[in-house]
Chain A
Amino acid sequence: DTEVTQTPKHLVMGMTNKKSLKCEQHMGHRAMYWYKQKAKKPPELMFVYSYEKLSINESVPSRFSPECPNSSLLNLHLHALQPEDSALYLCASSQRLAGPYNEQFFGPGTRLTVL
């Protein structure tokens, strides 16, 4: 099973709301990723967790707050977002952080609209 699941599929929120995106994998992977993808652009890396510890933060604004409560679960907490944060948010996982044959598997994404 190479499945990464994400909830919700769609989310509409106002600029003063607080919401969370959830990602789950049961492949025993120890690295998990958040990407942001705007229309007609490639995905941009936001955060990487390895063994539940934050390894990479690509200078993401603090209104995005990641959390990795256990090895299977990754959350992205959202607060005081701007309309330009509207995008497809993708979660991915891989066996480990780096090395050969380290394939990344992606979830279906959450389509976020900020009003």
Chain B
Amino acid sequence: KQEVTQIPAALSVPEGENLVLNCSFTDSAIYNLQWFRQDPGKGLTSLLLIQSSQREQTSGRLNASLDKSSGRSTLYIAASQPGDSATYLCAPDDGGATNKLIFGTGTLLAVQP
């Protein structure tokens, strides 16, 4: 059974810092891993999807890496801004016939102006 852990649970940084969010998962037999952002009381915004054969994906100031064999993914945010404040969720799938996403408990990020 896929289990997902995200570290740290909460993070507060000053504006402009580069930061790394960590995600580890127990079952490496995945198709994809998605990173999402969620603002309080809102839906999930898909940030990046990494397919299992890829090592990294980039979108603007975001870079996600995947090491499938060790069950780890990181989300790197460059030059953080107050608007980046949100909860970040990592979700590998279960690699099965239904691509069921297994969510971590998230990292709550606060970027101080």
Kindly list the 8 A-B residue pairs having the minimum CB-CB distance in the complex, ordered from nearest: A42-B103, A98-B99, A106-B44, A108-B43, A106-B43, A103-B49, A109-B43, A100-B51
22 A-B contacts (beta carbon < 8 Å) = A4-B43, A42-B104, A48-B100, A56-B100, A90-B44, A97-B99, A98-B31, A98-B97, A99-B31, A100-B31, A100-B53, A101-B49, A101-B51, A102-B99, A103-B32, A104-B34, A104-B101, A105-B46, A106-B44, A108-B43, A109-B43, A111-B41
> How big is chain B's contact interface, by range?
20 to 34
> How big is chain A's contact interface, by range?
20 to 34
- Using a CB–CB distance below 8 Å, which chain B residues touch chain A? 31-32, 34, 36, 41-46, 49, 51-53, 89, 93, 96-101, 103-106
**B106 with A42: CB separation less than 8 A:** yes
Total number of A-B contacts with CB less than 8 angstroms?
66
Also in contact, A99 and B99, with CB within 8 A (given A43-B44, A90-B44, A109-B42): yes
